[in-house]
Amino acid sequence: MRIVKLNEETKKDILNNLLKRSPDNYGEYESIVKDIVEDIHINKDEALFKYTEKFDKAKLDASNIKVTEDEIKDAYTRVDNELVEIIRKAIYNIKTYHEKQKQYSWFDSEDNGIMLGQKVTPLERVGVYVPGGKAVYPSSVLMNVIPAKVAGVKEIIMTTPCDASGKVYDMTLVAANEAGVDTIYKAGGAQAIAALAYGTESIPKVDKIVGPGNIFVALAKRMVFGHVSIDSVAGPSEVMVLADETANPRYVAADLLSQAEHDEMASAILVTTSEELANKVSEETEKFISVLSRKEIIRKSVDNYGYILVADNMDDAIETVNEIASEHLEIVTANPFDTMTKVKNAGAIFLGEYSSEPLGDYFAGPNHVLPTNGTAKFFSPLSVDDFIKKSSIIYYLKEALEPVSKDIIAFAESEKLTAHANSIRVRFE
């Protein structure tokens, strides 16, 4: 991996390079996606089946687009029982963590006849998109479905691509069934997102769409936002390791490459105060790349978006960490808890040399759907909050309204909104 001395100029260059991966730069695909989305909106199932045959080579219709119970049972016969048990353990951890995020309605009343509050209501129907292209991601099924279940969402619909014979990945079906998905449809790409957003004869309209996807899925989600809610328009995966001279270079190198294998646009960055560590990590990454199965993808990722940044001191290193605002941040320093207190921007923070990023991807419990491309400065991980809505509650007796009525009338009239003022005034004529 390239080693760069950290200064203001190199930091700016790196930030500009990383931002090139943003979905906002995928304009060349927008017209294609727009045509697909509009076609689904107008022609519904007819268009959905057309694009499924065009892109997935599968001939589907209303009779076989929905995954049956028999297909799910068959999937279990082809998935190792030990793996099913591991999925169940992960579900327990994810559910336990997210249950601590639950919010409840509340009301405060005062003696003067005022009651204020907040009503928390789960979303009625949510659509979960699960990719089916380069790899199978049952972990993403769990991370998107379980918070919705914990929130109390009444109906969870999943769409995922099928192969040319109409089959869906066995692991995807098993994970969905274990997590509690209500219905699964064989639909992928931008056409699936449009179907969830607008509804077709086969797929019902949802209130919110969550889940990762390729460029076409990301653009489709952005286009339908407003008709439905979405989780985010996610960019490529990224990991950052903040380390000092106490870190194990072999561990650090392995962790950097764990994200680089996702795709060619993934980012892996080490920020360290130790030149010796920087050199050792660079050597170890080369050793790992030579033996890892996805070496071609890893090599492109590391060459384009991989960096080892050497800072003069830990304050400069932490400032850079906060500027880049990585999706995943590992802190491997002599006192990681103290270092963490100075970190403001990161999607998920992993502390110490035995809290590697894949622990969060699969098993620990916190959500692995995280803000990317610097959006950790203002976005949070997917959570139970994403599957609820809040309504404000206001109740005043006449005795409570009267003392403040003149203030409200004066406020309304200052804005030239005389009907607002009149609405209060008529109650005390």
What does the pLDDT look like over 73-109, one tens digit per residue?
999 999 999 999 999 999 999 999 999 999 999 999 9
In this prediction, residues 396-413 reach a mean pLDDT of: 97
Amino acid 235: pLDDT? 80
Residue 70 CB burial class (10 angstroms; 0-12, 13-18, ≥19): exposed
Amino acid 38: pLDDT? 97
Amino acid 45: pLDDT? 97
In this prediction, residues 49-74 reach a mean pLDDT of: 96
Least confident of 23-27, 34-38, 317-321: 23-27
In this prediction, residues 101-118 reach a mean pLDDT of: 95
In this prediction, residues 327-337 reach a mean pLDDT of: 97
3-state secondary structure of 373: coil
Q: Is the pLDDT assigned to residue 133 strictly greater than 80?
A: no
Amino acid 8: pLDDT? 87
Q: Above pLDDT 90, what percent of the chain?
A: 85
Amino acid 137: pLDDT? 84
The phi, psi pair for 120, rounded to 5°, reads -100, 125
pTM: 0.92
* Long-range contacts, stretch 293-302, CB < 8 angstroms, 24+ apart: 294/261, 297/260, 297/261, 297/262, 297/263, 297/264, 298/257, 298/260, 298/261, 300/264, 301/260, 301/261, 301/262, 301/263, 301/264, 301/265, 301/266, 301/267, 301/268, 302/1, 302/256, 302/257, 302/260, 302/268
Q: Is the pLDDT assigned to residue 67 strictly greater than 80?
A: yes
The phi, psi pair for 235, rounded to 5°, reads -95, -175
Q: Is the pLDDT assigned to residue 6 strictly greater than 90?
A: no
As given in the structure block, the two tokens for residue 87 are: 């999925």
CB 122 within 8 A of CB 387: yes
In this prediction, residues 415-420 reach a mean pLDDT of: 97
- Report the chain's mean pLDDT, rounded to a whole number: 94
Q: If pLDDT is split at 50, 70 and 90, which confidence band does 428 have?
A: very high
| Catalytic annotation, residues | 327-328
Would you give the end-to-end CA distance of the chain in angstroms?
78
In this prediction, residues 4-9 reach a mean pLDDT of: 89
Task: Give per-residue pLDDT as tens, 137-171.
Answer: 899 999 999 999 999 999 999 999 999 999 999 99
Task: For 207-233, give the DSSP string.
Answer: SEEE----HHHHHHHHHHBTTBEES--
Q: Is the pLDDT assigned to residue 27 strictly greater than 80?
A: no
Q: Is the pLDDT assigned to residue 135 strictly greater than 70?
A: no
Amino acid 309: pLDDT? 95
Amino acid 18: pLDDT? 84
Q: If pLDDT is split at 50, 70 and 90, which confidence band does 24 have?
A: low
Q: In what order do the strands lie in the sheet with 388-396?
A: 106-109, 114-122, 388-396
Burial 287-311 (b: 16+ CB within 10 A, else e): ebbeebebeebbbbbbeebbbbbbb
Q: Is the pLDDT assigned to residue 322 strictly greater than 90?
A: yes
Q: Is the pLDDT assigned to residue 23 strictly greater than 80?
A: no
- The residues, ordered by sequence, that sit 6+ positions from 423 with a Cβ below 8 Å of its Cβ are none
Q: If pLDDT is split at 50, 70 and 90, which confidence band does 187 have?
A: very high
Closest by CA position to 141, among listed 67, 63, 40: 67
Task: Give per-residue pLDDT as tens, 235-283.
Answer: 888 999 999 999 999 999 999 999 888 888 889 999 999 999 999 999 9
Count of other CB atoms within 10 angstroms of residue 263: 18
Least confident of 18-32, 133-147, 338-352, 402-416: 18-32
